Amino acid sequence: MKHVAWQGIYPALLTPFTANDEIDYPLFQKNLDAQIAAGVDGIIIGGSLGEASTLTSQEKAEFLSYCVKSVNGKIPVIINVAEQSTKVAIAMAQEAEQLGADGLMLLPPLKYKADDEEVVTYFQAVASATKLPILIYNNPVDYGIKVSIPMFEQLLPYANIQAVKESTRDLANVTNMINKFGDRFKILGGVDTISLECLMMGANGLVAGLVDAFPAETVAIYRLVKAKRYDDAVAIYRWFMPLLELDIHPKLVQYIKLAATAVGLSSEYVRAPRLVIKGAERERVLKIINDALATRPQLPDYLNL
């Protein structure tokens, strides 16, 4: 089994597109380089922010192959598996393993609102079909399915189910998971606006969104918390909050692409049915971004804490 520490900052990377709707690999590489230079601990591709729902299976395979080759073992490359059918999810997991992925982020079945037994059986089937480490994505707010503690109990025998992206938005869930399972399941906070709180309650790291535009600030907060420099972490977090709120809007893809474009790490192009934001909405989001850039904090030497 491959090893993923599930510790630290895992950006949910954007998929940049060109004006003619192809994946913009040079621009993606620019963002990837910035993430690695800032000290991220792994990357997740093909997630919600990566516009997975509009990528073809061939594009996902090519994108994964590109990432594996480019990253070249420096940090783990995790790919999202978000499918409607167990058979397709298994096939994708096995292809990802063959193409060199280091791990999987696994959503419950999409579209059909499965009951608890169906969700657990789905996770068990995918886990049994691959040796790759798995991060379960627990996001009842957006996907309508909560992976409860009794459900995690049924996943204990599956050694490659190792971590959870904790997006329930219930901070008590971090403590409840640790109380129940100790460190059996690593916990990565999955909601930008409560990311510091998750870390303070014992989460092992974050799957982050605004990290796409602000990698150094995101990693700095994590490293400062680990170094128990809480006041310094809070100061950066307070500056960051108006930007972090862009992560919990239905148009988070467009908003975060706009932020990443402002710092030279993306373009605004999105894939239909999404449309580039315009008019008053664009001006409102740009003001949040530009106000933040005007007051961007001086970061401590966080990589050497």
Q: Quote the tokens at residue 162.
A: 């190792």
Q: Considering only CA atoms, which of 279, 260, 209, 219 is closest in space to residue 30?
A: 260
pTM: 0.97
pLDDT bucket at 98, cuts 50 / 70 / 90? very high
Would you call 207 helix, strand, or coil by DSSP?
A: strand
With contact defined as beta carbons under 8 Å apart, do 105 and 80 qualify? yes
Residue 176 confidence (pLDDT): 98
Q: Considering only CA atoms, which of 246, 253, 206 is closest in space to residue 10?
A: 206
pLDDT digits (tens, 9 = 90+) for 115-161: 999 999 999 999 999 999 999 999 999 889 999 999 999 999 999 99
With contact defined as beta carbons under 8 Å apart, do 220 and 37 qualify? no
With contact defined as beta carbons under 8 Å apart, do 277 and 255 qualify? yes
Q: Is 275 left (phi over 0), alpha (psi -120 to 50) or beta?
A: beta
Residue 91 confidence (pLDDT): 98
pLDDT bucket at 110, cuts 50 / 70 / 90? confident
Residue 52 confidence (pLDDT): 93
- Right CATH number for 8-304 from 3.40.50.300, 3.20.20.70, 3.40.50.10880, 2.40.30.10? 3.20.20.70
In this structure, the strands spanning 77-81 and 43-45 are parallel
Whole-number Å distance between alpha carbons of 151 and 140: 14
Residue with tokens 């606006």: 193
Whole-number Å distance between alpha carbons of 10 and 32: 12
Whole-number Å distance between alpha carbons of 151 and 116: 7
Would you call 69 helix, strand, or coil by DSSP?
A: helix
Long-range contacts, stretch 231-238, CB < 8 angstroms, 24+ apart: 232/300, 233/196, 234/196, 235/297, 236/297, 236/299, 237/195, 237/196
State the Rg of the chain over Cα: 18
**Mean pLDDT of all residues in 252-275:** 98
Q: Considering only CA atoms, which of 23, 59, 61, 29 is closest in space to residue 43?
A: 29
Give the E-state strand segments of 156-202 in sequence order.
161-166, 186-189
Q: Considering only CA atoms, which of 154, 121, 125, 151 is closest in space to residue 138?
A: 151
Residue with tokens 């999955």: 190
What is the percentage of the chain residues whose pLDDT exceeds 70? 100
pLDDT bucket at 213, cuts 50 / 70 / 90? very high
